[in-house]
Amino acid sequence: MSTALITGASGGIGYELALEHVRRGGDVILVARREEKLREYKAKWESTYGVNVHVIGMDLAQRGSAQELHDAVSAKGLTVDILINNAGFGQYGLFEESDLDRAMQMLELNIVTLTALTRLFVVDMVRRRSGRIMNVASTASFQPVPLMTLYAATKAFVLSFSEALNNEVSDRGVTVTALCPGPTTSGFQDVAAMHEARMVDRRLMATSADVARFGYDAMMRGKPVAVHGLLNRITTFLVRLTPRSIILYIGRMIAEKR
Ligand SMILES: NC(=O)c1ccc[n+]([C@@H]2O[C@H](COP(=O)([O-])OP(=O)(O)OC[C@H]3O[C@@H](n4cnc5c(N)ncnc54)[C@H](OP(=O)(O)O)[C@@H]3O)[C@@H](O)[C@H]2O)c1
């Protein structure tokens, strides 16, 4: 059975993606800063599912962390068949008022580390002519989002990067899937301090488990872009046909506080 490396596996969508894989009997390499949580899952999953769970506690917003992670995986003699770049966070509010250090950390985690990990692992996959990569993007990848200005821009990068890379490598047995969830219940809203935003409406939000199940299946089928939920699929389609000024107006409206 294959080995999947999942970043941001200590909670939310990443935790559920890891669970999808171990339920199918696959081994996992779990990466996040909260190592104690990952160790809890290791103890539980190894006894419940009879799989191997490797734990690597690491801050992936640090420059050079992707190389460090690739080295740590090689040192353990592991082969990564599936790479899931899930770790990421958002910042809510006016860009001019954002904490600059935190904004730079977001660029590092959501863009730089994701890119470097993909570059490091895709080479091994292409050489083996086999591999799956999932990059967790967002419905925010499809249009600019005022009040989540920089976050949406990082996710636009992830979608563009993933689609083009999939085109480059899919003829050699490797696929790249951009998973695009809409608002989903997880630790994301706490971290981004955005509970008052109109778009955070628990009645309309998906669960991390639903998003993960959908995304995992799409990745295994080699789907290049996987938008979760019918309403999200309709809106991301309509965005392509609607003038940018209207999209920005609507985006601002749903991003504002209630
Ligand atoms: N929830 C949504 O509404 C939504 C919608 C669209 C896209 N997404 C995307 O989905 C992905 C997963 O987010 P989520 O919703 O599951 O949020 P979450 O519950 O906050 O989970 C984020 C995960 O990333 C890890 N992480 C954060 N900073 C890290 C760092 N510096 N180094 C290593 N790991 C780090 C966290 O672990 P530690 O804190 O233990 O490090 C945690 O496991 C993100 O890329 C997010 O942008 C979320």
Ligand 1 lined by 215 (C-beta under 6 Å)? no
Pocket test for ligand 1, best of 89, 138, 154, 231 (most atoms within 8 A of CB): 89
Q: What is the pLDDT of residue 1?
A: 77
Q: Is the pLDDT of residue 204 over 80?
A: yes
Q: What is the pLDDT of residue 113?
A: 98
Pocket test for ligand 1, best of 142, 161, 186, 199 (most atoms within 8 A of CB): 186
In 3D space, the residue among 37, 47, 36, 46 whose CA is nearest the CA of residue 12 turns out to be 37
Residue found under tokens 């872009």: 225
The beta-strand segments (E) located in the chain are 3-7, 27-32, 53-57, 82-85, 131-136, 174-180, 184-185, 206-207, 225-227
Looking at the chain, the whole-number percentage of residues with pLDDT higher than 90 is 98
Segment 218-237 mean pLDDT:
98
Segment 233-244 mean pLDDT:
97
Beta bridge partners of 175: 132
Ligand 1 lined by 150 (C-beta under 6 Å)? no
Positions annotated as catalytic residues are: 151
Ligand 1 lined by 184 (C-beta under 6 Å)? yes
Cα 228 to chain centroid distance, Å, stands at 13
Mean pLDDT of the chain: 97
For 51-105, the pLDDT digits (tens) are 999 999 999 999 999 999 999 999 999 999 999 999 999 999 999 999 999 999 9
Q: What is the pLDDT of residue 202?
A: 87
- The residue whose C-alpha atom lies closest to atom 36 belonging to ligand 1 is 8
Domain limits of the chain?
3-255
Q: Is the pLDDT of residue 111 over 80?
A: yes
Rounded distance between C-alpha atoms, residue 208 and residue 210, angstroms: 6
Rounded distance between C-alpha atoms, residue 47 and residue 62, angstroms: 33
For 14-64, the pLDDT digits (tens) are 999 999 999 999 999 999 999 999 999 999 999 999 999 999 999 999 999
Q: Is the pLDDT of residue 254 over 90?
A: yes
Instruction: State which H helix or E strand residue 219 sits in.
Output: helix 208-220
Segment 128-147 mean pLDDT:
98
Token digits of residue 69: 């992670």
> How far, in Å, from the CA of 191 to the mean position of ligand 1?
9
**Contact criterion met (CB below 8 Å) for 177 and 135:** yes
Rounded distance between C-alpha atoms, residue 182 and residue 152, angstroms: 12
Beta bridge partners of 5: 29, 83
For 252, other C-beta atoms within 10 Å of its C-beta total 13
**Contact criterion met (CB below 8 Å) for 177 and 219:** yes
Residue 143: phi and psi, rounded to 5, are -155, 160
In ligand 1, the atom with minimum distance to the C-alpha of 35 is 40
Q: What is the pLDDT of residue 133?
A: 99
CATH of 3-255, one of 1.10.40.30, 3.40.50.720, 3.40.1190.20, 1.10.10.2840: 3.40.50.720
Q: What is the 3-state secondary structure (H, E, C) of 115-167?
A: HHHHHHHHHHHHHHCCEEEEEECCHHHHCCCCCCHHHHHHHHHHHHHHHHHHH
Token digits of residue 76: 């353990």
Ligand 1 lined by 14 (C-beta under 6 Å)? yes
Q: Which amino acid is at 44?
A: K
In ligand 1, the atom with minimum distance to the C-alpha of 65 is 32
